[in-house]
A and B are shown apart, each in its own frame.
Chain A
Amino acid sequence: MVTLDGQTGFHTGCSLERIEAIVRAFEETGDVTAADPDAVVDHGPGQTTFPTPELSGLRTGVREILDGCGWRRPTDPADHEAVGGFVDPDPDAVIDLGGTLDGRGWRDLCHDAPLADTWESVRSAAGDPVVVVNAHGNAADTLLLESAPFEALDGAVALADAVGAERVIVYASADDERAVQTVRDAAANYPDSPITVDVETGPAEYRAAEPSMAIESLEGNHRLEARIRPPDLDAVGLHGRPTLVHTPRTLAHLSVALREGEPAGTRVMTVTGDVADPVTVEVPASETLETVVDAAEMTGAFKAASVGGRFGGVTDDLTVGVKPDALAANDLGSEGVVRVLADDRCLVEFVGQRAQFAADENCGRCVPCREGTTQLAGLLRDVYDGGYDPEAIEELIDVMTTSSICAFGVQAGRPTRTALSAFESEFEAHADGRCPAGSCLEPLEA
């Protein structure tokens, strides 16, 4: 992106050499269009929001929450202030807005639930509350920390102030180094506030994002396992204090709602899998999965989508809306990650890998998840030997879902459960010794 005096040129998919050439061309000519950009947008000088070009991945949807990404300087508070950020809201106004917002993603303590009641209970609880920003493991959350950290921090600080917390802790994966560094810099530049903001990292393991394991990690436990609940973290959390755990997406929605006076009503979604480049887009909540999937360029013909993160639901129906209730009605997840699968993908193999991943990566605490995921992977392997027993698989997944301690085990069976209903014939074909996609049986027989 080259920008000067209200005109911006966009270059996509640049190598380092290409970037050097673009910079050289601009230095020589002073013209943002000198190096033949893929798109040019004319906008007024002093533009505070992203000037969206007609380019794949960027033209889709709207930009309320992701507005600052790629445009405002991530760690410069002046840029955030220029769009009306750092409002110093009345605590009651924050709580009221919480009634119109819900928690984004399974890593949020209030996943898909309105926020106001939980905020109110934390505000009135005895003990010093803490606000934890859980940025561990979701692409959109990492993007927000890297590109617009003040949206998350502004929301977190406003919330801390509203519930009487003196401390905000940003928690991210130790692997997301750039996000961690950027949010650290942003926190250091944060305008004077009585609320301290710390940034901590946890192990780069999938389960470490589960809210109670995030708290265990912040407490310094050398081994991460989930806590039993109730009471949940909002009553007894970090070092026993009332603790709110929200994702950067949730808090960015708060930050935007505070300055705009009303919620954005959008969903931030990431498309990944068999695509040329993964993209994170923001769409109105009235949109369908189709709009989201269309934002990315697929590398093959569409076969299925796994909707809702690592343990999402598998579907071939993209007419489903992106609202959590529409997704839930179709047994799909609302984590905001859609993985598209091209037609050379085998669904039995795909869900088998998810089940094995769950067996390898669970914390080991509860029987339905620790032993259930192992047995699930075994039942799926049995399919290859002709031992396809859908009732046994469904019974096991039901029990994992109703009796696991945390969201990991509750969700771990979802890929298999949904694939069984949407792609039953593939399982039957495997039981007959045939892989319709041709991807997983040959190597076995070889």
Chain B
Amino acid sequence: MPHPLTLTVNGTGREDAVEPRLLLVHYLREVCGLTGTHVGCDTSQCGACTVLVDGAPVKSCTMFALQAEGCRITTVEGLAPAGGGLHPLQTAFWEQHGLQCGFCTPGFLMAATALLAENPDPTDEEIGRGLEGNLCRCTGYVNIRRAVRAAAAAMRAGAEPAATAVVGG
């Protein structure tokens, strides 16, 4: 039996009725039409489905949509500033070749957003630990790390961060 669900997705309030077994990732993709959040492994391993729930990084394939009642969700579609352009992390992934096929990228961007909100100047080791929940089958991670470092520097220098990226407890 569908249950009511009220939440905020990328700053927009929504009310829907969903089946309890609907996973958050399927809600975002199929009900909200936000297909930037990918399903990679479906076994809670790869992190391609990472979104922010009240600022904290979460594998959206491992949460029921109903568990997001009252929460603020940010997906990769919500990263770029509303007026157009790219988020500094998106720019850095582009410029530093932090992607090849791009399938894992939305998850890396969201995990990196959470990492930088908590630690604006991470070391390479801290970037590695911060992104340990995300797998990439193409890049070998070196350029991803470089991109996160470049984005961190740009954001410290004043480039606009995503307004919604506040890591909560």
Chains A and B bind each other: no
